[in-house]
Amino acid sequence: MAGRIRVSAVPVDVTVGDVERNLGAIRDALGQSARSGPHLIVLPELATSGYVFADQGEAWSCALRADDERLTSLGAALPIETVVVLGFCERDGDTLFNSALVLGAEGVLGCYRKSHLWGTEHRIFDTGPHAGMVVDTPIGRLGVAICYDNEFPELPRRLALSGAQILALPVNWPLVDRPSGEHAPEIVQAMAAARSSRLPTVIADRHGSERGVEWTGGTCVISPDGWLCATPATANTAASTELDLTLDKSIGEFNDLFADRRPELYGDIAVPRIPVRPTSRSEARTHVQ
């Protein structure tokens, strides 16, 4: 599908550890955002649970299966052309994942497990097996990634090459120092990634703080040209706009971002040139002890 759609990045108020309250806040936010016509709604990373867990035991107490009725029921009230992407703490057997669920009026459309874990996430979650996800939805071909995933340029480019027309990015960006007047570095990276693949990006971030961690409040919508085209009017309000979805990657009369690629020259891009640190949850635990 190609055409004009509404997009909304919604920074819901999340209370760490209180799943029922968070699900209620998500349900309220979806009700307030409901409208007719093609619509993509993105909510933050781990929106059902909060992010700053005291330990893995607390994360387990907040975990939900992807087919949990409390999650799937959120889709039942959606208009037929609305798609929601929300972050949740996923339990699958004896394993936890930092995941994003894609919901439509007809049910679960997909579930993506974060493949690049940040900081102490390594002590709680396992890494997902895929670098982002592309899923066919009523609004078009949707790319999904989570937070730190998008800081690896290969990932959003991979999704664009796989036919994603738009990227949904739930995040929890801890606030970092930056020069006065500058955008947060994560936004700068997302703007560059969007521009380099003409891939519009919808980012839902947290606002305020949680257990001493202050959030960036980076909720925004980025156009396929890489510009911020919507930001919240105030903290904890949605960033909404309309976007035209297309697979056209042309830039002017003579150039095309995909046709001009030279893959034969990029063969060594995935080869490490410097020593790498451990990435698995078990290795990370050993590393920090």
Amino acid 285: pLDDT: 41
| Of residues 215, 202, 149, the one with CA closest to residue 41 | 202
Between residues 234 and 275, the one the model is more confident about: 234
**Which letter does DSSP use for residue 128 in this model?**
P
**Structural domains in the chain (count):** 1
Q: Residue 169, class by beta-carbon neighbours within 10 Å (0-12 exposed, 13-18 middle, 19+ buried)?
A: buried
Q: What angle do CA 86, 84, 159 make, to 5 degrees?
A: 80
CATH code for position 159? 3.60.110.10
pLDDT, one tens digit per residue, over 258-287 is 999 999 999 888 887 777 666 555 454 433
pLDDT, one tens digit per residue, over 209-228 is 999 999 999 999 999 999 99
Give the range of the structural domain holding residue 212, as residue numbers without chain letter: 3-288
Amino acid at 36: S
Are residues 52 and 213 in contact, defined by beta-carbon separation less than 8 angstroms? Answer: yes
Average pLDDT rounded to a whole number, residues 18-45: 96
Tokens standing for 256?
């095309």
pTM as predicted: 0.94
Q: What angle do CA 33, 38, 41 make, to 5 degrees?
A: 40
